[in-house]
Amino acid sequence: MIELNWTFWVQTANFIVMLVFLNHFIFKPMLAHLEKREAEMSGLRNEADSMRKKGEAALEEYESKLEEIRASAAATIAEARKEAQEEMSEKIAKSKKEFDGRIEKARSEIRQELEDASASLKTEVDIFAKAMAGKILGRGV
């Protein structure tokens, strides 16, 4: 059985004093610190979310610009390739025309030399034939 004597009242007073002391010097500062820490954490979370969103936006912008640059580079390469192809076709056509001209000139030179050689040989053949006929017949023809 519990006796309600003077020690009970001393212990009760001691308990109440201890509760007031702990509440004033330990619990309230700790709770204030925890609330402050939670507020800071909440602010940091919000800041991190904001930074993450900015990072995602920057990444999307980077990727879109990169795609634009790739498209521009592809267009530039295609245009350069087309210009090079056209230039090459022009040079090939020019070279072919020049080559055809040289071939025609060489053919006409060869025809001319052939005609000259044929005419020269014709006169020489005539002279040779007369000389052979003269030798065979023993008289001048």
Q: What distance lies between CA 96 and its chain's CA centroid?
A: 37
How many separate domains does the chain show? 1
**Structural domain includes residue 113:** yes
How far is residue 90's CA from residue 108's CA, in Å, rounded to a whole number?
A: 27
**Structural domain includes residue 114:** yes
Secondary structure (3-state) at 130: helix
Residue 3: pLDDT above 80? no
How far is residue 24's CA from residue 113's CA, in Å, rounded to a whole number?
A: 128
Q: Of all residues in the chain, what percent carry a pLDDT higher than 70?
A: 97
Residue 1: pLDDT above 70? no
**Structural domain includes residue 13:** no
Range of the domain at 71: 23-141
Secondary structure (3-state) at 2: coil
Compute the CA torsion angle 19, 25, 29, 31 (nearest 10 deg): -10
**Structural domain includes residue 122:** yes
Residue whose pair of structure tokens reads 């004093």 in the numeric block: 17
How far is residue 124's CA from residue 132's CA, in Å, rounded to a whole number?
A: 12
**Structural domain includes residue 58:** yes
Contact 125, 132 (CB under 8 A): no
**Structural domain includes residue 3:** no
pLDDT tens-digit map of 68-124 = 999 999 999 999 999 999 999 999 999 999 999 999 999 999 999 888 888 888 888
